[in-house]
Amino acid sequence: MKVLFLLSFLTPLATAIWPLPVSVETGNTVLWIAEDVTVKWAGTGASDVRSTRCLSRCSGSYLTGLFDSVLMIFLQPYKRSKVRSFKDTTPSGDELVDHALQQTWKTIFKQSFVPWKFRPKGWKEPDSNDCTYVAGIELNLLKDDPENVAKPLAGEVDESYALSLTEDGQATVSANSSVGLIRGLNTFTQLFFAHSQGGAYTQLAPIEIFDAPKFQHRGINLDVSRNWFSVKDIKRTIDAVAYNKMNRFHLHITDSQSWPLEIPALPDLAQKGAYRPDLTYSPTQFRDIQYHAALQGVELITEIDMPGHTSSIWYSDPDLIAAFNIQPDWNTYAAEPPSGTLKLNSSKVADFLETLFNDLLPRVLPYTSYFHTGGDEVNKMAYTLDDTVKSSDPAVLQPLMQKFLDRNHDQVRSLGLTPIVWEEMLLDWNLTLGNDVIVQSWQSDEAVASIVEKGHKALVGNYHFWYLDCGKGQWLDFDPSVSSQYYPYEDYCAPFHNWRLIYSYDPLSGVSEDKQHLVVGGEAHMWAEQTDPVNLDRMVWPRGSAAAEVLWSGAKDAEGQNRSQIEASPRLSEFRERLVAKGIGAEPIQMIYCLQNGTQCQLGLS
């Protein structure tokens, strides 16, 4: 007993890096880090002078024009650098790393926390006298960045990194791309805690980490049509996405309920289709959001869902929409009110989409390689009310849908982007898709298996696991005549998907081994019928983090076993504190009692 007791106090503290790296080795030496710690960083153009010794201390000067020599820069001045305005060009690898250094400083010194919740009662913080400091941080870019480092197709950028921190305080982050460097700096911030007397320290030196993501596409999808979200809310969500080492942010930016995206060539669209004429995203704001994501190694993918989910177009262009807002039996024609769909055999619709894409797609091109053309939940009955078709017969509709999709995808490609569609276009409508198209699944593991069997790349996000909106209960109001039928008013995808359920999902389950390479990743989805800026953070975080770890680290551990909640839970709690310290209102997942003395809240023993 005595030995066990002693051991539990001598066991070195575990790292709590989220998502879990491929390999981590740590010690238990305390190292402090000073606000003016130097960073040795050569910039991305410096491959031929990588071994050059540092020539001068260029106190905080921004890297522009100095890429031909290895620089020693202070981390500290990053706190003073102004918020740089966005550009309308793809950010370079240097800009990514520069931004990441600013974030690193801010995270370690301004957005940290004292980890008392994760230490036994009576725990003493490390002594701040007579301490060793991190001597410097060296960043090594091992290969030249590909041109599209900030907007790659899946798999085009290597996000792996190696991080080491020696006992005497030399930190090194090495990576094959600038994105790898910023993922490594992210991990670096997670090694440090705030001290209640000021300053920041790690208790884990020496540290050796190697890390690489399991999946290439790791994202959150946010619906900003059902409820209104400000630019600030969206940017905060992107910051959290990036801190979770996710690399995609899918913006479901229009739907039947509102059209908040301004399209200068079609000014009435948002003017009339938004909830209020001022609740829109201007071209400047839209660029700002996309640049904000790209700068953090997060590719923002815009979705204009069609031909269903488009009723908001009716307010500006009633001619283009069939079956608009049929009441009270809207549910014959759509999944949600207001019903309505783009007409399927209309040259006016084709002209409209031509104009829309020509306006919008060049504005997403600097920041992404993808454009999402939607295609979910198209209701065939709506076409009985479409004067260009007047039929719900699949044999009539299918060729028209193929033509509709081909027109859209041809234009997407001609404007330099790769299409993404929802699974129904392939699996329910039996459409022929280009080999380049990524098919986003949401309904089942069988759907994922069918997509890859047909040779397409797939994104997972099974709604039984990765829909963050589920389990809140119905948002529909029931008439007394039917109310008892729906009691107790659960929604279609109840119960609430807690983080454990999200964490238990394996993107590869049901996919044969020879097809697994086609599962490029997945997304957790925040549909916003019952979410607005007030509860956004707690609806997405830290449950979205559970999906982030599955996508980065894989659903199975090194032994091929399902990852353990017992191992993950305290790490997720600690990561949640980091999110909160960054101003993201992530929910707690346990009470402090469960955390203070190891795992106190376990049920079942193995």
Ligand X SMILES: *[C@@H]1O[C@H](CO)[C@@H](O)[C@H](O)[C@H]1NC(C)=O
H or E element at residue 97: helix 93-110
If binding is defined by CB under 6 A, does position 450 make contact with ligand X? no
Q: Report the C-alpha gap between 193 and 274 in whole angstroms.
A: 44
Q: Which of 161, 499, 541, 575 binds ligand X (CB under 6 A)?
A: 161
Binding mask 463-502 for ligand X (x = CB under 6 A): ----------------------------------------
CB 545, min distance to ligand X, A: 18
Nearest distance from residue 522's CB to ligand X, in Å?
13
Nearer to ligand X, 135 or 396 (CB): 396
Q: Does 430 bind ligand X (CB under 6 A)?
A: yes
Residue at token pair 């807690």: 498
Binding status of residue 103 toward ligand X by CB under 6 A: no
* 552 near ligand X (CB under 6 A): no
Name residues whose C-beta falls within 8 Å of residue 487's C-beta, 6 or more positions apart in sequence.
none
Closest to ligand X by CB, 162 vs 364, is 162
For 513, half-sphere exposure in the C-beta direction (CA atoms, 13 angstrom radius) is: 0
Catalytic residue among 35, 377, 529, 587: 377
- Return phi, psi of residue 17, to 5°: -75, 135
Give the range of 172-180, 241-249, 260-268, 320-328 binding ligand X by CB under 6 A: 172-180
Pair 141, 181: CB distance under 8 Å: yes
In the three-class reduction of DSSP (H, G, I as helix; E, B as strand; rest coil), residue 7 is classed as helix
Residue environment code for 539-550, b if the CB has 16+ CB neighbours within 10 A, otherwise e: bbbbbbbbbbbb
- Check: CB of residue 209 under 8 Å from CB of residue 164: yes
Minimum CB separation of residue 280 from ligand X in Å reads 34
358: burial class by Cβ within 10 Å (0-12, 13-18, 19+)?
Answer: middle
Tell the smallest beta-carbon distance from residue 370 to ligand X (Å).
25
Contact status, residue 321 vs residue 314, Cβ threshold 8 Å: yes
For ligand X, the closer CB: 142 or 415: 142
Least distance to ligand X, CB of residue 142, Å:
6
Is 377 annotated in the active site?
yes
List the structure tokens of 309: 């989910």
Determine the interface stretch with ligand X among 174-182, 216-224, 415-423, 574-582 (rule: CB under 6 A): 174-182
Give min distance, CB of 593 to ligand X, in A: 9
Number of H helices, E strands in the chain: 17, 18
Q: How far is the CB of 248 from ligand X (least distance, A)?
A: 21
Residue 414 binds ligand X (CB under 6 A): no
Does 175 bind ligand X (CB under 6 A)? Our answer is yes
Rounded CA-CA distance 219/523 in Å is 4
Residue 160 touching ligand X (CB under 6 A) = yes
From 58-66, 268-276, 358-366, 394-402, span contacting ligand X (CB under 6 A): 394-402
Establish if 553 lies at the interface with ligand X (CB under 6 A): no
DSSP 217: E
Share of the chain residues as helix, strand and coil, in percent rounded to the nearest 5: 35, 15, 50
Angle at 170 between CA 296 and CA 139, to 5 degrees: 30
Rounded to a whole number of angstroms, the minimum distance from the CB of residue 345 to ligand X is: 4
Among positions 224-253, residues that touch ligand X (CB under 6 A) are none
Instruction: Give how far the C-alpha of residue 191 lies from the chain's centroid of Cα atoms, to the nearest Å.
Output: 22
Distance between CA atoms of residues 467 and 470, nearest Å: 6
| 445 sits near ligand X (criterion: CB under 6 A) | no
Q: Which is nearer to ligand X, 102 or 462 (CB)?
A: 462
**Minimal distance, residue 506 CB to ligand X, in Å:** 4
Strands 161-165 and 200-211 come out as: antiparallel
Residue closer to ligand X (CB basis): 70 or 179:
179
Tell whether residue 290 is a contact of ligand X (CB under 6 A). no
Q: Which residues pair with 299 in a beta bridge?
A: 248
**Pick from 104, 187, 345, 440: which binds ligand X (CB under 6 A)?**
345
Q: Which residue, 83 or 395, is less far from ligand X as judged by CB?
A: 395
What tokens appear for 275 in the block? Answer: 């909830």
- Beta bridge partners, 294, equal none
Q: Where are the beta strands (DSSP E) in 270-345?
A: 299-303, 321-322, 341-342
Closer residue to ligand X, CB minimum distance, 414 or 512: 512
Contact segment (CB under 6 A) with ligand X among 173-181, 187-195, 214-222, 416-424 equals 173-181
| 176 touches ligand X by CB under 6 A | yes
> Which residue from 102, 174, 186, 280 is in contact with ligand X, where contact means CB under 6 A?
174
> What's the one-letter identity of residue 298?
V
Q: Say whether residue 186 binds ligand X (CB under 6 A).
A: no
Does residue 458 interact with ligand X by CB under 6 A?
no
The single residue among 81, 132, 358, 398 that binds ligand X, judged by CB under 6 A, is: 398
Q: Which is nearer to ligand X, 110 or 143 (CB)?
A: 143
> Judged by CB, which is closer to ligand X: 81, or 384?
384
Chain centroid offset of residue 4 CA: 42
Minimum CB–partner distance for residue 302 and ligand X (Å):
27
The C-alpha atoms of residue 164 and residue 141 are separated, in whole angstroms, by 14
372 strand-pairing partners: 303, 420
44 contacts ligand X (rule: CB under 6 A): no
Rule CB under 6 A: say whether 504 interacts with ligand X.
Answer: yes
Q: What is the pairing mode between strands 136-141 and 457-460?
A: unpaired
506 binds ligand X (CB under 6 A): yes
The residue length of the chain stands at 606
Q: Which residue number, 444 or 504, has a Cβ lying nearer to ligand X?
A: 504
584 binds ligand X (CB under 6 A): no
Q: Binding string to ligand X for residues 585 to 604, with x set by CB under 6 A, is what?
A: ------------xx------
Q: Which of 242, 217, 354, 371 has its CA nearest to residue 305?
A: 371
Token couple for 480: 């007394």
Q: For 602, which DSSP code?
A: -
Tokens representing residue 145 in the block: 């960045």
Tokens of 378: 């198209």
Q: Please select the residue that binds ligand X; options are 429, 442, 465, 541, rule is CB under 6 A.
A: 429
Cβ proximity to ligand X: between 355 and 384 the closer is: 384
DSSP, residue by residue, 527-559: --TT--TTTHHHHHTTHHHHHHHHHHH-SB-TT
Mark the segment that binds ligand X (CB under 6 A) among 255-263, 357-365, 389-397, 578-586: 389-397
**Cα–Cα dist 436/457, whole Å:** 8
Active site amino acids: 377
Binding site for ligand X (CB under 6 A): 8, 142, 158, 160-162, 174-176, 345, 388-389, 394, 396, 398, 429-430, 504, 506, 509, 562, 597-598
